[in-house]
């Protein structure tokens, strides 16, 4: 926390310094934007979402507002931006950002992001670790280091190493990340995810995470312990987070993890409409994990026709969450084949082949 306060003080002090220097530097007037760019990189492009429901019950979809400016800081509280021609910074709630295209402060950040976009996950972890371990001398603003940490978490998840993803996430969780980055939390979105990992590696770590002060780490630990011998403690922790978490996202994700405790016979009676509504209250980029879990629970309830559209939703709307998208495509194709819809299953499998071809093409 002290480090976080020091970082925030540094950003605020830098803003003040820029404001004081904007009138005259070495006798030459400079714009506020130019001075901000010299310390934080050039202008980034980002999108802000209108708050509210995302379900199809709305007559009008949420509006998106595109903006461009030099980003001085971006955390769960605010995104602080200097726009072109401005004489001071402007502030918007950081959790409303649903997409950002960073203008990186130097080549090291740009390279890692390029590797991540190309799905070269092993180099992302290697290069990202080198940069994060030298954070104070990296030349990258704090908000860009948070983005790199989130891409490292996603890369470890895509490589099938949730224990490493969780370890990296502990560093991100301490940095007060905005919801868009916090949503990369490597929790198991269903029992299928539990069956694919070496629990002997992650459960001892989870025992430590669940006891931390951080709500995000409590969620991380409880989610992995939910199917083990500490199930009762995990359920108790998730119930507390679902009611009392300060972060709306942690609150929502804790409620979603509790879906795993509901017997299949009870899902359609009264749970399904509520789960759907809870999922749709989230900003679209935050819905991938809950949608994956919703599809699995519907399948377990003997409702493949309801599960298939949810899996395909992930494949078409959350392709950036690679490890979830490829599993969703495979599950949708399998369900279609079992239902005797072979042609549809084959078309869906073509999506999976494109994902794999694209990934292999981008490997070094």
Structure tokens at 242: 């679902």
Residue pair 148/140 in contact (Cβ under 8 Å)? The answer is yes
The model's pLDDT over 236-275, given as tens digits with 9 standing for 90+, comes to 999 999 999 999 999 999 999 999 999 999 999 889 999 9
Question: Sorting pLDDT into bands at 50, 70 and 90, what band is 228?
Answer: confident
- Using the predicted structure, report yes or no on whether residue 363 has a pLDDT greater than 50: no
Mean pLDDT within 319-326: 91
The model's pLDDT over 131-154, given as tens digits with 9 standing for 90+, comes to 999 988 888 999 999 999 999 999
Per-residue confidence (pLDDT) for residue 31, from 0 to 100:
64
Query: What is the model's pTM?
Result: 0.86
The residue extents of the domains of the chain are: 2-101, 104-186
The model's pLDDT over 6-37, given as tens digits with 9 standing for 90+, comes to 454 445 445 544 445 444 444 444 565 566 66
Per-residue confidence (pLDDT) for residue 340, from 0 to 100:
95
């Amino acid at each position: 926390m002290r480090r976080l306060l020091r970082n925030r003080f540094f950003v605020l002090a830098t803003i003040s310094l820029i404001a004081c220097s904007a009138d005259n530097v070495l006798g030459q007037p400079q714009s506020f934007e130019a001075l901000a760019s010299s310390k934080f990189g050039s202008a980034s492009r980002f999108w802000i979402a209108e708050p509210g429901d995302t379900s199809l019950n709305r007559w009008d979809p949420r509006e998106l507002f595109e903006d461009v400016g030099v980003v001085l800081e971006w955390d769960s509280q605010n995104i602080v931006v200097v726009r072109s021609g401005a004489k001071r910074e402007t502030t918007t709630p950081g959790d409303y950002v649903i997409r950002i295209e960073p203008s990186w402060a130097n080549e090291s950040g740009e390279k890692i992001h390029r590797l991540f976009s190309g799905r070269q996950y092993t180099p992302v972890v290697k290069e990202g670790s080198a940069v994060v371990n030298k954070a104070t001398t990296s030349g990258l603003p704090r908000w860009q280091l948070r983005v790199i940490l989130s891409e490292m978490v996603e890369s470890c998840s895509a490589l099938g190493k949730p224990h490493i993803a969780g370890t990296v996430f502990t560093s991100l969780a301490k940095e007060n990340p905005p919801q868009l980055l916090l949503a990369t939390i490597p929790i198991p979105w269903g029992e299928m995810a539990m069956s694919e990992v070496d629990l002997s590696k992650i459960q001892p770590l989870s025992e430590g995470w669940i006891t931390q002060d951080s709500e995000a780490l409590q969620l991380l630990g409880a989610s992995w312990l939910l199917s083990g011998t500490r199930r009762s403690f995990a359920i108790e922790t998730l119930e507390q987070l679902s009611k009392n978490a300060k972060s709306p996202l942690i609150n929502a994700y804790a409620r979603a993890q509790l879906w795993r405790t509901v017997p299949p016979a009870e899902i359609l009676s009264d749970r399904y409409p509520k789960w759907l509504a809870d999922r749709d209250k989230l900003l679209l980029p935050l819905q991938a994990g809950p949608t994956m879990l919703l599809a699995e629970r519907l399948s377990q309830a003997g409702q493949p026709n309801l599960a298939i559209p949810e899996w395909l939703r992930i494949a078409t709307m959350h392709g950036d969450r690679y490890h979830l998208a490829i599993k969703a495509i495979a599950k949708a194709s399998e369900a279609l084949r079992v239902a005797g819809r072979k042609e549809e299953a084959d078309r869906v499998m073509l999506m999976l082949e494109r994902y794999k071809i694209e990934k292999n093409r981008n490997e070094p």
